[in-house]
Amino acid sequence: MSKENLAGVYQLENGCWGFRYAISVNGKRREGKKTKDENGNPFKTEKQAFRARERAIIKAKTEKKPTKKIVRKTFKEVFEEYCEYGRNGKAYTTIKKQDSLWNNHLKDRFGSKYIDNITVAEIQDYLAELYYTEGKAYSYAESFLKMFYLIFGQAYSRNYLDIDTYNKLCINKDTKIHMPKQKIDEETDIVYFNKIEMQQLDNYFQGTNAETAYMLGKYCGVRINECYGLKWDKIDLENGIITIDRQMQYQEGLIKLVSLKTRNAKRKIYMCSKLKKYFENLVQQQKKYKKELKAQRQQNQTFIQDIKGNMISSLGLVNSLPNGKIQTVNSMKYHSRTLQGEYNINFKYHYLRHTYGTTLATLNTPEHLLCNQMGHSSSAVTHKYYIAISEQGIEELLKNLEMV
């Protein structure tokens, strides 16, 4: 008998033998260790221990452990339990999005079905219907996939799904639910502005009430909620650093400053010399406004709730108007319409973020640094900027080709 076959068998100090094993059964680890047989007698020979080990492994693989009785619940009941017990600490926008997917789509289609009766094929057909038939965006259809994983995970943790069903739905790579194959003509998620468009945008925003927000989008790649939630005390001109630690949101019809969606979104962004110079000038203008428009600013200021629940003045926000009136995440809508009508530019503030990321990726910024600057929770998201085909990237490619 070869040494390979005798793996797991070992000799004791007294000359007798023992065995150990560790196997996986239905995704669960089972271990065993013995130095005596069923009658309490020691294994006198290596062969005895080996045979006993073989029998123990067969028994472990075939023996059915007593399991709790599976409780049957509908998809609706599981979702409601998740809402009551599993959403503590979730971001406000995440909760709103989940509620929207449920109320507008999933409730009617799956709500009354028992969770243990829903099949992989049924979900795959539904995702394909959303993406191919209804023409939903790939990323939007993907949000449904995440919801299914979430609800099935909730059901399994509460013993509404047995392990085999859960493995088939969510774990086994050969059977688990997944997104349909992406269309060949699917547009990239990375939409950016080219050089001509950026020049037009520079000219358009200069001197407008949205210039500061534009500069933050162009040179920092911040999200629009982060931009309008930025406070003056988070700008460190001496060290050239902007701290992003909160965002502006409408919640129940009220403007609030709330926590960022993910931990990685809290970050320090390094300013380029142009942006630093811009803010140095803006600080001087603010001093002027405080003197010349003091009465207006006091009258027009708005008090909003900050992260910890205390009320703060809109005068502490970077993007408030000179006369003290607050600007919100909706302030860009007018400019988007104007740019579309007068310049034929499909302007979304988030595209400034894409342009920032694509430009830095083309300039070979280390991926981990760009991931940090943009506040991505996953480097896989950042990687999209490195594989996006941009105008600037093509220019660099052509330069490199001339050197071949």
Residue 174 class from Cβ within 10 Å (0-12 exposed, 13-18 middle, 19+ buried)?
exposed
- Element containing residue 116 per DSSP (H, E): none
Q: Which of 275, 243, 285 is nearest to 352 (CA)?
A: 275
The predicted structure's pLDDT at residue 150:
96
Flag the least confident range among 53-67, 240-254, 299-313. Answer: 53-67
The predicted structure's pLDDT at residue 92:
87
The predicted structure's pLDDT at residue 303:
96
| pLDDT exceeds cutoff 60 at 1 | no
Q: Can you give the pTM of this predicted structure?
A: 0.71
Cα dist. 10→2, 56, 187 in Å?
A: 14, 16, 61
pLDDT band at 65; cut points 50, 70, 90: low
Q: What is the pLDDT of residues 364-375, one digit of tens each?
A: 999 999 999 999
Q: Count Cβ atoms below 10 Å from residue 198 Cβ, excluding itself.
A: 16
Q: Which of 364, 383, 370, 334 is nearest to 221 (CA)?
A: 370
Asked if 361 and 388 touch (Cβ cutoff 8 Å), the reply is yes
DSSP 298-355: HHH--EEE-TTS-EEEGGGBTTS-TTS----GGGGHHHHHHHHHHH-----HHHHHHH
Across the chain, mean pLDDT equals: 91
What is the rounded CA–CA span in Å between residue 167 and residue 102? 24
The predicted structure's pLDDT at residue 236:
97
Flag the least confident range among 53-57, 117-121, 272-276, 281-285. Answer: 53-57
The predicted structure's pLDDT at residue 387:
82
The predicted structure's pLDDT at residue 339:
96
The predicted structure's pLDDT at residue 382:
92
pLDDT band at 391; cut points 50, 70, 90: confident
Q: What is the pLDDT of residues 97-151, one digit of tens each?
A: 999 999 999 999 999 999 999 999 999 999 999 999 998 889 899 999 999 999 9
The predicted structure's pLDDT at residue 78:
97
Q: Which domains does the chain have, with CATH numbers?
A: 9-62 (no CATH), 75-171 (1.10.150)
Asked if 382 and 370 touch (Cβ cutoff 8 Å), the reply is yes
The predicted structure's pLDDT at residue 214:
98
pLDDT band at 188; cut points 50, 70, 90: low
More confident call, 257 vs 262? 257
357 forms beta bridges with: none
What is the rounded CA–CA span in Å between residue 384 and residue 189? 8
